[in-house]
């Protein structure tokens, strides 16, 4: 048994920052490839739909915050 009966086995893993950077770079390159294939004629309608969705998310967040029982400052210790 590696490490004895009471010692946990330590495994080498990549750091979280490196993994996050790797995922960000993959997402950026995939996004660039997808966006570059969108025809110019579709750009304006797609951006309009995207802005609409973002607006709905912001309105929903304001409604949820309006119904909150506490504020962020009252939840912090100290």
Per-residue pLDDT at 16: 80
Domain span at 70? 16-75
Residue pair 8/14 in contact by the 8 Å Cβ criterion? no
Q: Is residue 48 situated within a structural domain?
A: yes
Q: How many domains does the chain have?
A: 1
Tokens at residue 68, please?
């909150």
Backbone angles phi, psi at 2, to 5 degrees: -75, 130
Q: Is residue 57 situated within a structural domain?
A: yes
Tokens at residue 78, please?
């100290």
Helix ranges restricted to H, 1-78: 16-36, 40-66, 72-75
Q: Is residue 28 situated within a structural domain?
A: yes
Write down the pTM of the prediction: 0.45
pLDDT tens readout for residues 28-73: 999 999 988 988 888 888 889 999 999 999 999 999 988 888 766 6
Q: Is residue 5 situated within a structural domain?
A: no
């Amino acid at each position: 048994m590696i490490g004895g009966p009471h010692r946990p086995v330590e495994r080498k893993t990549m750091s979280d920052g490196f993994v996050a950077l790797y995922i960000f770079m993959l997402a950026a390159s995939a996004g660039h490839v997808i966006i570059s294939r969108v025809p110019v004629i579709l750009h304006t309608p797609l951006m309009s739909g995207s802005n609409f969705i973002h607006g709905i998310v912001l309105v929903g967040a304001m409604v949820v915050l309006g119904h909150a029982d506490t504020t962020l400052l009252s939840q912090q210790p100290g």
